[in-house]
Structure 1
Amino acid sequence: MPLRTPLLTIVAYLSLVMAVFLSNGSALATTLNVVTEEGSLQFTKNSRVEGVATDLVRAVLNEAKVKGNIRVYPWPRAYEQAKSKPNTLIYSMARTPQREKMFKWVGEILPLDYRFFRLKLNDKVNPTTLEQAKKFKIGTVNNGAIHSYLKRNKFTNLSKASNATSHIRMFMAGRFDLIILNTSRLQSLCKNTKLDCNRIEPIINIPEISNGLYMALSKQTSDSLHKKLTAAYQTLKTSGQYDSIMAQEVIK
C-alpha cells in the first residue's frame, strides 16, 4: 500500500511524457497537402510537378524539414482546398486585399506588374483606359485573381479558360481581343508555352492588382507550422537561394 501513491505518480508522469512525445511526433510528421495549377511557374512534366515556383516551394519545405505532396488541379479546385482544408499550402497565388485575411501567407514567389496586352497586328483593339477596355472581349482564367478583379470592376465580355497555359494559347489564336499578363513572368511564359511573344504588346497598366504571387497556408493550419515555413522562406531570402532559384524567371 505505501508504494501505491509513488507508483501512480510515476505512471501519471510517464503518461504525460508519452502524450507530449506523441503530440510533437505528430506535428513533426505532418505532411502538407500542396496544391497549385498548371502554368508557366509550375507545370507537370513526366508525371512530376516542376517549374521555378515549385523549386522554391520544395526548397522552403526542405529548409523547414516539412514533407509535402504536391498536386496540380484546375485553379477553382486548388483554391477551394486551400480555403477549407487544414495543412494545405497553395501557390502561386496573387495576394489581394480580398484574400488577405483568408490565408496565412508564407512568402512572395514573384512580384507582379499586370498589364492589358493585345496582338500587335490587331491595331483595331486600341483602348487607352480601363473603361474603354470593357468594350472588347477579354480572356481570363476561371476563378483566378484576374477573373475576380474583372468581375468586381464590371467587365462582362469575358472568355474563361481553365488554366494559364490554355489561356494564352487561346489569346494567340485570336479567340479574344485582350489578355492581362504579368510582365515580370512574360519571359518564361513565352518559353514554356513555346509561343512568340514578340507578337504581343502591353497597352494599359493595372497598378491596382500589381502586388505579388505568394505561397500561403490554409487558415486552419497551425501557427507553429506557419512560423516554421515563414522562417525557412526568410532563410532562403537572406542566404541568396531565393535569387538563385528565381533568376531565370525575373526579367532584369
Structure 2
Amino acid sequence: MKRYAKVWLALMMAGTVHAEDVHVAVAANFSAPMKEIGERFERETGHKVLATAGATGKFYAQIKNGAPFEVLLAADDETPARLGQEGSAVAETRFTYAIGKLVLWSTQAGVVDPQGRVLAQGSFAHLAIANPKLAPYGAAAMQTLDKLGVRERLAPRLVQGDSIAQTHQFIVSGAATLGFVAMSQVFSGGKLQSGSAWVVPAGMYSPLRQDAVLLERGKGKPAALAFLRYLKSEPAREVIRSYGYDL
C-alpha cells in the first residue's frame, strides 16, 4: 500500500515544469476518444500527445522489444497486468479507464437486425472480425459466435483484421458485408451514425475492461504522469462516456 501511495502521490504532484511529449500506445477501438482527450490535455497542460493506435497484442510485443512508448491504453486488462508483472510497466499505476461494448455492424441499412438474427440466417458472404489472438474485441466476437452456436458454420466466411480499426475498414470498403466492431467506432452521442447494428448483450462475451498503465519508459516523465492523471479526470470521463463506454 505504501508503494502504491507513493506512485500516485508522484502522479498527482507532477506539474508542467516545461512542455514535453508523451508517447501513448492506444488500442485501436479508443482512437476517436483519444483524439478528443489528447486535444483537451494539450490545451490544458501544454504537453504534446504522440499517440499510436493499434492492436494490443502487437503493442505488447513492441514494448517488450524496446518501442519508445511511455503510456499504454490497452483494449484489455491482462496485457497491462502482464507488463507490470514482467517489469515493463509500473504495476501500481494500472487502472481501468473504460469498459468497451461489442457491436455487429454493417454500412447498409436493414442488413443487421436489432437482435442479431442475421448471423443465424447467414445471408452474407463475409463477416469481419479482429484477430482474436491480437485484439480483445476479436476474442469477444468469437465468444459471441460460440454463444450463438454459429462459429463452425461461419468460419469459412470470416475475414480477419489485425486490429479493430482494420476490421472496421473491411466493412467500410465492402470487403465484408458486416462485422464485429467497437461501439465507439460507429456510435456517437448514443446514436448509430450510419448503417445498421446490433449491440451485443454484455453477457455473451467476457467484459472488455480496458486498462491504462505507465510503462517503464514513462517513469519520472511529468508529461506521462500528467496524462494518466488527466485520463481519470471528469472532462476525460465525459468524452469516454460519449462514445458509449461504461466506466
Kindly state the Cα deviation for residue 70 of structure 1 after the two structures are TM-superposed: 0.9
CA distance in 2, matches of 1:190, 1:205: 17
1:90-239 matches, within 5 Å, as 90-91=72-73, 93-97=74-78, 99-102=80-83, 103-104=89-90, 107-116=95-104, 120-121=110-111, 125-127=118-120, 138-142=127-131, 143-148=134-139, 157=155, 158-171=158-171, 175-176=175-176, 179-183=179-183, 186-188=186-188, 196-197=194-195, 199-202=196-199, 205-206=202-203, 208-219=205-216, 221-222=218-219, 229-234=227-232, 236-237=233-234
CA distance in 1, matches of 2:236, 2:53: 25
Structure 1 residue ranges without an equivalent (≥5): 1-26, 43-50
CA distance in 1, matches of 2:130, 2:49: 24
Q: 1:203 to 1:220 in 2, by over 3 A?
A: closer
| TM-score, scaled relative to structure 2 | 0.53
Give yes or no for contact 1:83–1:218 (8 Å, CA) kept in 2.
Answer: no
Q: Find the residue that maps to 1:179 and give its secondary structure.
A: strand
Q: 1:59 to 1:213 in 2, by over 3 A?
A: farther
Kindly state the Cα deviation for residue 201 of structure 1 after the two structures are TM-superposed: 2.5
Q: Find the residue that maps to 1:121 and give its secondary structure.
A: coil
CA distance in 2, matches of 1:251, 1:96: 15
CA distance in 2, matches of 1:169, 1:178: 11
1:232-251 matches, within 5 Å, as 232-234=230-232, 236-237=233-234, 241-246=235-240, 248-250=242-244
Kindly state the Cα deviation for residue 53 of structure 1 after the two structures are TM-superposed: 1.6
**Number of the residue aligned with 2:52:** 72
The alignment-based identity, stated in percent, is 9
Q: 1:180 to 1:206 in 2, by over 3 A?
A: farther
| TM-score, scaled relative to structure 1 | 0.53
**Number of the residue aligned with 1:33:** 23
Q: Find the residue that maps to 1:147 and give its secondary structure.
A: helix
Count of residues in Structure 1 that have an aligned counterpart in Structure 2: 202
Q: 1:125 to 1:144 in 2, by over 3 A?
A: same
Residue type of the partner of 1:181? V
Structure 2 residue ranges without an equivalent (≥5): 1-16, 84-88
RMSD of aligned alpha carbons: 4.9
Kindly state the Cα deviation for residue 117 of structure 1 after the two structures are TM-superposed: 5.2
Range with greater deviation from structure 2 (221-230 or 108-117): 221-230
Give yes or no for contact 1:141–1:163 (8 Å, CA) kept in 2.
Answer: yes
CA distance in 1, matches of 2:207, 2:65: 26
Q: 1:78 to 1:71 in 2, by over 3 A?
A: farther
Rg (Cα) greater in structure: 1
Residue type of the partner of 2:119? N
